[in-house]
């Protein structure tokens, strides 16, 4: 093991790393191994055989009874007074730990190291070697060594925690794993400037340091200790102990970026399939070196294979993936989006719990704008006809839109880590997250459109998932549509028209318009829309060029050239259809002008009629003259009625009555 650590306890009460018990000692020169059996080098014949696994120990009852409570019960409570054979099938630590415990009972010197202390501590507890039988018994000795020697050392804490993997549940019940995890967490959170102990560190590109090569890895006064100095040492732990250490580190307040980097380093060592070109390059040598020296790691395999050993490894892999998902820090950008997507790929392949997969999908949606096309092309491991999991990308897009809506409703300033992560990309690319995701989705659609089993409805739903404002140019979407039409030549005219509706012809560039004009896979209506939109752009540009004659001459010539190229590149059938369509458009324009003129005439007539109606509906002013004339009109009506009813006698009276008004009129005039 690490010799420098055991040398550090020299001069202490443990006697240069050794301890012994001379009380109740048994005169012996030591133990001798003959084949699969241990013998005590003494003249007294053995009276007890203890079998631990495949190893036999020929011992004496008296030294064992004086220190082990379990041996006392087994021998004295036995119905057989001449018991000479005892079998320990479940003794923690195995034959190695029992050998040390037996030597301690005989008063021999026992060498305590970080590699054997945990097994010996559990064996002492199993054999009940407590203070009730004798002061300074094995339980007390091993507990003191753990507390004062092991937990004060970084490397010893790592080794002891690693050795606890074979001692469950004894190491858990005795709090050995918990105490080692706490010690590791405290030292990992220490200021790197104050670190004086030895550590492994990340392996270099030339050679990987070994665990007992301490001189090269020990920090000197002038050596700079990086913040990730503890990654390599912690990554050798089993997943449950690694989770315990990371949880303790979180509680102590370490930066979430470092925690995420440690998780990625651990995944690189235990899940080699997650490593791709350009990602975690510093860990590639670590994996290659450990593939030869360290044989405790698993290798990613496809579940459902016929080999039983591989199925067991698949279960172990699933445990690792589930544990890593559960300890990823919740903060955004704690790990890269590429790592999350590769972890999601492994989760789908290994049939991880659906709740964890959903949580991981939400995490990917939080930073989907950082993803690349290679990471997004996740195979479909379910029984489906499509090669890639398009439904998964649809869910990721939904989570991204929900996150964007949440961020827009409650804006918060970017964190330092966020700025640092995007520093390289923001210099050359000022697109907002939605625009970057739109480009990513267009590239993904172009790739998956070659799959003949992809339904058009899924293609449309994924293309229309983002709002229209996310795309300033539809060239990528046009490329995806053209690829889908090429891979699905049996689509009807109606289906092709419906598919092309997801694209805005006005957002196509000149190059895309030229290609669309020559594309016979597009419907004629779409080609006409492309040509018409390009003509509108040219007309608008010419109208704007009138005010700026000199600067616009070059642009005007370019537009004319582009228009000629566009028309010359159009197939003959499309050109004939375009001529017919242009005539129809001119006819419709003429008819529309006639309708407009008729509408204007009708509107004028309506206004005239409205004015006349307003004049007639106005009330006339009344006066004494008008009331007098109304009375005379009434008398005239009454006279006419009486003339018809009475006859010629009354006619003279009516004439007499009519005369006074005439005189009154003459007098008035």
**Band of pLDDT at residue 425, cut at 50, 70 and 90:** very low
Judge if pTM exceeds 0.85. Answer: no
**DSSP H or E segment with residue 95:** helix 94-105
pLDDT at position 372: 93
Distance (Å, rounded) from C-alpha 71 to C-alpha 67? 8
Phi/psi of residue 52, nearest 5 degrees? -125, 105
Q: Is 379 in contact with 387 (CB distance < 8 Å)?
A: yes
- Nearest Cα to 95, choosing from 119, 115, 71? 119
Q: Which residue's entry shows tokens 């050998």?
A: 99
DSSP character string of 508-538: --HHHHHHHHT-TTS-HHHHHHHHHHHHHHH
Q: What is the DSSP letter of 281?
A: G
Query: Does the N-terminal peptide bond of residue 168 adopt cis geometry, omega within 30 degrees of 0?
Result: no
* pLDDT tens sequence across 526-564: 788 778 777 776 777 777 666 555 554 555 455 555 555
> How far does CA 665 lie from the centroid of its chain?
107
Which alpha helices (DSSP H) does 210-255 contain, by range?
214-217, 231-234, 239-251
> How far does CA 638 lie from the centroid of its chain?
102
Distance (Å, rounded) from C-alpha 261 to C-alpha 598? 75
pLDDT at position 601: 83
Please, what is the angle between helix 524-545 and helix 510-517, to 10°?
Answer: 140
- Nearest Cα to 85, choosing from 61, 51, 55? 51
Residue 559 tokens read as 């537009």
For residue 110, the cross-strand partners are 19
* pLDDT tens sequence across 611-640: 888 888 766 555 554 555 555 555 555 545
Q: Which of 64-73, 92-101, 223-232, 572-581 has the lowest mean pLDDT?
A: 572-581
Assign domain 31-152 to its CATH superfamily.
Answer: Potassium Channel Kv1.1; Chain A (3.30.710.10)
Residue 607 tokens read as 């206004």
Q: Which of 44-53, 340-349, 415-424 has the lowest mean pLDDT?
A: 415-424
Question: How large a percentage of the chain has pLDDT more than 90?
Answer: 38
Please, what is the angle between helix 176-188 and helix 154-163, to 10°?
Answer: 140
Q: Average model confidence (pLDDT) for the chain?
A: 76
Q: Is 185 in contact with 142 (CB distance < 8 Å)?
A: no
pLDDT at position 437: 94
Distance (Å, rounded) from C-alpha 51 to C-alpha 561? 96
pLDDT at 32 over 60: yes
């Amino acid at each position: 093991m690490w010799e420098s650590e055991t040398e550090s306890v020299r001069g202490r009460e443990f006697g240069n790393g050794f301890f012994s018990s001379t009380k109740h000692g048994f005169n012996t020169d030591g133990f001798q191994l003959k084949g699969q059996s241990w013998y005590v080098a003494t003249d007294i014949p053995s009276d007890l055989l203890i079998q631990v696994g495949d190893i036999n120990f020929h011992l004496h009852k008296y030294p064992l009874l004086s220190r082990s409570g379990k041996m006392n019960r087994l021998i004295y409570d036995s119905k057989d007074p001449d018991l000479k054979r005892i079998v320990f099938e479940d003794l923690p630590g195995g034959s190695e730990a029992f050998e040390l415990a037996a030597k301690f009972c005989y008063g021999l010197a026992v060498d305590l190291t970080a590699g054997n202390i945990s097994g010996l501590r559990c064996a002492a507890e199993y054999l009940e070697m407590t203070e009730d039988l004798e002061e300074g018994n094995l339980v007390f000795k091993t507990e003191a060594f753990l507390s004062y020697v092991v937990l004060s050392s970084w490397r010893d804490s790592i080794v002891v925690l690693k050795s606890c993997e074979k001692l469950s549940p004894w190491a858990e019940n005795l709090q050995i794993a918990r105490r080692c995890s706490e010690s590791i967490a405290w030292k990992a959170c220490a200021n790197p400037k104050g670190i004086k102990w030895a550590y492994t560190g990340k392996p270099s590109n030339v050679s990987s340091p070994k665990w007992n090569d301490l001189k090269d890895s020990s920090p000197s006064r002038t050596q700079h200790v990086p913040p990730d100095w503890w990654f390599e040492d912690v990554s050798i732990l089993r997943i449950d102990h690694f989770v315990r250490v990371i949880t303790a580190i979180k509680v102590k307040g370490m930066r979430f970026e470092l925690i995420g980097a440690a998780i990625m380093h651990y995944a690189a060592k235990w899940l080699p399939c997650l490593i791709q070109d350009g990602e975690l390059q510093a860990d590639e040598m670590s994996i290659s070196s450990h593939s030869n020296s360290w044989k405790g790691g698993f290798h990613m395999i496809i579940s459902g294979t016929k080999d039983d050993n591989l199925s067991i490894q698949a279960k172990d892999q699933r445990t690792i993936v589930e544990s890593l998902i559960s300890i990823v820090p919740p903060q955004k950008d704690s790990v890269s989006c590429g790592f999350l997507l590769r972890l999601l790929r492994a989760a789908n392949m290994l049939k991880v719990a659906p709740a964890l997969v959903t949580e991981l999908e939400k995490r990917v949606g939080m930073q989907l704008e950082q993803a690349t096309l290679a990471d997004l092309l996740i195979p479909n491991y379910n029984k489906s006809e499509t090669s890639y999991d398009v439904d998964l990308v649809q869910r990721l897009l939904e989570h991204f839109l929900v996150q964007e809506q949440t961020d827009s409703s409650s804006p918060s300033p970017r964190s330092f880590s966020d700025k640092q992560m995007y520093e390289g990309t923001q210099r050359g690319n000022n697109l907002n997250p939605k625009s970057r995701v739109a480009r990513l989705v267009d590239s993904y659609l172009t790739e998956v459109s070659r799959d003949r089993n992809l339904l058009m409805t899924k293609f449309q739903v994924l293309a229309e998932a983002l709002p229209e404002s996310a795309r300033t140019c539809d060239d990528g979407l046009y490329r995806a549509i053209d690829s889908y039409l090429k891979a699905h030549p049996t689509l009807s005219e109606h289906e092709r028209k419906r598919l092309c509706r997801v694209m805005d012809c006005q957002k196509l560039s000149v190059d895309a318009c030229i290609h669309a004009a020559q594309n016979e896979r597009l419907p004629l209506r779409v080609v006409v829309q492309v040509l018409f939109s390009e003509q509108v752009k040219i007309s608008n540009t010419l109208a704007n060029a009138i005010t700026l004659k000199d600067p616009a001459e070059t642009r005007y010539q370019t537009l004319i050239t582009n228009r000629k190229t566009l028309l010359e590149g159009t197939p003959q059938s499309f050109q004939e259809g375009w001529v017919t369509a242009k005539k129809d458009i001119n006819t419709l324009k003429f008819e529309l002008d006639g309708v407009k003129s008729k509408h204007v005439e009708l509107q004028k007539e309506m206004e005239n009629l409205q004015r006349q109606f307003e004049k007639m509906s106005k009330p006339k002013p009344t006066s004494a003259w008008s009331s007098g004339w109304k009375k005379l009109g009434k008398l005239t009506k009454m006279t006419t009625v009486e003339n018809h009813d009475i006859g010629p006698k009354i006619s003279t009276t009516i004439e007499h009555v009519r005369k006074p008004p005439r005189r009154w009129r003459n007098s008035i005039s």
